Chains A and B, each alone.
Chain A
Amino acid sequence: GAGVSQTPSNKVTEKGKYVELRCDPISGHTALYWYRQSLGQGPEFLIYFQGTGAADDSGLPNDRFFAVRPEGSVSTLKIQRTERGDSAVYLCASSLMGGELFFGEGSRLTVL
């Protein structure tokens, strides 16, 4: 595609619910990253995929967060038992190996 696409753009959910956020990277980009951006802060690294495998998940805050990329293209970030502190903009980025990161517009998650 022309750019990194993320859906939904906005998600409002209640505390304790399960949420899935989807990222469709630029075609041909082997690397995919998830970041979380809280208001007034820089993006915070969550996880990185090279192909289908999670090469570095050191930024996932706890075991409620999980991400998959089963076919090496689209990725889904999954958050279980959401908490109010999970409210943020979740940014996805993709790149060629060692190249510039291209970001999507993000999914704004609000947990009530």
Chain B
Amino acid sequence: GENVEQHPSTLSVQEGDSAVIKCTYSDSASNYFPWYKQELGKRPQLIIDIRSNVGEKKDQRIAVTLNKTAKHFSLHITETQPEDSAVYFCAAASSGGYNKLIFGAGTRLAVHP
């Protein structure tokens, strides 16, 4: 089955700097790659996703890149703000018409003012 590895486990940046989180996946059939943000004690919320037919997607300060050959995908946050502090999870979905998400272990991002 699918296995998703996520790095780093913790990331500390200064406000205004960029943050990059990287994930790798094992199942070449996976075709959907969402990123979720989870604040302490709250539900995971989708922040951006990408499908395997594109290599990059951007939404304001957030971008995701996908390298299908290497089975890598990354989240890039520019001009970080303290409210970006949270745990971020990458996920990959096995194909089959529904999104059975397999999650990485998470990255705890701390943005210091």
A-to-B contact residues, CB < 8 Å:
4, 31, 33, 40-45, 48, 50, 55-56, 58, 91, 95, 97-106
Contact = CB atoms under 8 A, between A and B. Distances in A.
Nearest to A104: B43
Interface of B: 1, 4, 6, 34, 36, 42-46, 49, 89, 91, 97-106
B89 A98 contact: no
Given A40-B106, A41-B106, A42-B106, A101 B43 contact: no
A48 B99 CA distance: 9
Contact of A50 (B1, B43, B98): B98
13 contacts: A41-B106, A42-B89, A43-B44, A56-B100, A58-B1, A91-B43, A91-B44, A100-B46, A100-B99, A101-B46, A101-B101, A105-B43, A106-B43
B44 A103 contact: yes
A45 B100 contact: yes
Nearest to B2: A45
A36 to B, nearest CB: 11
A103 B42 CA distance: 10
A31 B36 CA distance: 19
B97 A100 contact: no
Contacts of B97: 97-98
Contacts of A55: 98
A98 B94 CA distance: 11
Contacts of B104: 42
Contacts of B98: 31, 48, 50, 55-56, 95, 97-98
B77 to A, nearest CB: 19
A42 B105 contact: yes
Given A98-B98, A100-B34, A44 B43 contact: no
